[in-house]
Amino acid sequence: MTAMLKTLLHRLNTRTAIVGVIGLGYVGLPLVRAFSNGNLKCIGFDVDPAKVAKLMAGRSYIKSIPASLIRKLVKSQHFEATTDYSRTAECDALVICVPTPLDKKHEPDMTYVEQTARAIAKHLRGSDPALRGGGSQLIVLESTTYPGTTREIVLPILESTGLKAGKDFLLAYSPERENPGSKDFETATIPKVVGGRDAASLKAAVALYRCAVKKVIPVASLEIAEAAKILENCYRCINIAFINEFKIILDKMGIDVWQVIEAAKTKPFGFQPFYPGPGLGGHCIPIDPFYLSWKAKQYGVAAQFIELAGKVNVSMPEYVISKLAAAIAIRGSRILILGLAYKKDVDDLRESPSIVLIERLKARGAKVDYNDPHIPATHKQRERDLQMTSVPITPAALKKYDAVVIATDHSAYDYPMIVRNARVVVDTRNATGHVKKGREKIIKA
């Protein structure tokens, strides 16, 4: 065991290590909570000074992370947030949780990963014995990406400093598996897959995550860990695309797909239910299949199955609009979108199909409002800025709209009241499945 690894393991085992989490969003902030609960001090890094200011003032911008927890961590000095990336040199382990979006050509945009790697490289400690404990720094990428990213992008940037992986620093990959809104799992209880560049890196990364997560699963390489996350998300993407297409077919036949799913899932083996919707949302499932497809082309392989699934899911907002257009004249109409978040009972609007619906309906001449109890106002995203606020939802307000589109089936909604007072209800989530009165107003989409 090298002195570098021995020092790092000692600090992790004695909880004297400092962990840096880069990117304080829906992945990074829950990770801070998990490490802090494991009695490790955390420094959070973000390029957004507004986020940093909120956190240091004891406020949270993510529903699943209560402000009381942030205040407690800041007050106890177990956590602090900063925009000063020179402070990465203070950290024994650095975990990268930055976005990996698609560009306009639907190809991987590695800008954030590359910029973060360069920021770390500027202050990489190395194994200089004059530095804190002889360096012993571990770098872990958590951002979802294609197999090869850690070795092909992050490693060369870090080694451009003249420092060498395995000798001067350690490098690993561990895919994030956050499930916003889940009541059954949180960061600490979701098994953690970890792959290292070498045996020492793997050992260090396993020790790091064992401080915060109940079960850590080491795998044989960086690429296996990267590919595991892609497999998980492609699996969901393909099955959701299939059930979306199945819904369209059954709709033409006059068969309720939701009742079919309920019947099919009574089989105790060989079947897992997936549910249709107005499109895919969240950071991973709408994006990751395109990452794999892009990488496959470099090896001369056409990922036809995966690309087709992506096309089906991307087309679903247009299908919803076609169902709406069959019921009302869209131009000049007033339409209310219920639910801006991409999934039920969360405040996350990343890649939400509701946003696509709003943009396309406005482009067709409709006046569109939204209501979401979890998102009182929209915020600027990388490519979109709706600049909208949630409108009140009351019986009187509902009667003013030509149609109400249920895009996200939040638990807070009173669906019988909505159906009773709306003129037309386009239901993309079967949220009104239990509603008895007014079913003639409901259009399943």
Q: What pLDDT shows up at residue 131? A: 54
Q: What pLDDT shows up at residue 307? A: 87
Mean pLDDT check: name the lowest of 4-13, 117-126, 169-178, 180-189: 180-189
Alpha carbon 105 to chain centroid distance?
A: 21
DSSP letter at 150 equals I
**Confidence check: pLDDT of 306 > 60:** yes
**Residue in this structure with the two tokens 């720094």, named with its chain if needed:** 137
**Residue type at position 136:** S
- Give residue limits of the domains in the chain: 3-220, 235-444
Tell me the mean pLDDT in the region 222-249.
95
**From start to end of 18-58, where are the E strands?**
18-22, 41-45
| Percent of the chain whose pLDDT exceeds 90 | 80
Q: What pLDDT shows up at residue 127? A: 62
Q: What pLDDT shows up at residue 129? A: 53
Distance, in Å, from the CA atom of 54 to the CA atom of 376, rounded to the nearest integer, reads 18
Q: Where does the pLDDT of residue 210 fall: very low under 50, low under 70, confident under 90, or very high at 90 and above?
A: very high
Q: What is the pLDDT of residues 335-388, one digit of tens each?
A: 999 999 999 999 988 889 999 999 999 999 999 999 999 999 998 776 778 889
| Percent of the chain whose pLDDT exceeds 70 | 96
Tell me the mean pLDDT in the region 211-220.
97
Q: Is 235-444 assigned to CATH 3.40.50.720?
A: yes
Task: State the DSSP H helix or E strand holding residue 218, giving kind and residue range, or none if neither.
Answer: strand 216-219
Q: Where does the pLDDT of residue 133 fall: very low under 50, low under 70, confident under 90, or very high at 90 and above?
A: very low
Q: Where does the pLDDT of residue 240 fall: very low under 50, low under 70, confident under 90, or very high at 90 and above?
A: very high
Q: What pLDDT shows up at residue 181? A: 72
Q: What is the pLDDT of residues 83-128, one digit of tens each?
A: 999 999 999 999 999 999 888 777 889 999 999 999 999 999 876 6
Two tokens, residue 387: 């600049």
**Confidence check: pLDDT of 443 > 90:** yes
Tell me the mean pLDDT in the region 313-337.
96
Tell me the mean pLDDT in the region 178-199.
89
3-220 has which CATH code? 3.40.50.720
Q: What pLDDT shows up at residue 289? A: 80
Do 3-220 and 235-444 fold alike per CATH?
yes
Q: 221 vs 8, 147, 408, CA distance in Å?
A: 21, 10, 39
Transcribe 284-317 into DSSP letters. STTTHHHHHHHHHHHTT---HHHHHHHHHHHTHH
**Confidence check: pLDDT of 134 > 60:** no
In 3D space, the residue among 218, 213, 169 whose CA is nearest the CA of residue 196 turns out to be 218
Distance, in Å, from the CA atom of 416 to the CA atom of 431, rounded to the nearest integer, reads 10
Q: What is the pLDDT of residues 13-69, one digit of tens each?
A: 999 999 999 999 999 999 999 999 999 999 999 999 999 999 999 999 998 899 999
Q: Annotated catalytic residue: which of 42, 234, 237, 284?
A: 284
Q: What is the pLDDT of residues 417-433, one digit of tens each?
A: 999 999 999 999 999 99
Distance, in Å, from the CA atom of 304 to the CA atom of 221, rounded to the nearest integer, reads 27
In 3D space, the residue among 207, 214, 211 whose CA is nearest the CA of residue 38 turns out to be 211
Among this protein's residues, is 284 annotated catalytic? yes
Mean pLDDT, the chain, whole residue set: 93
In what side-by-side order are the strands of the sheet with 169-173? 79-82, 41-45, 18-22, 93-96, 137-141, 169-173, 192-196, 216-219
Q: What is the pLDDT of residues 276-291, one digit of tens each?
A: 999 987 666 667 788 8
Distance, in Å, from the CA atom of 370 to the CA atom of 401, rounded to the nearest integer, reads 11
Q: Which range among 299-303, 384-388, 399-403 has the greatest average pLDDT?
A: 399-403
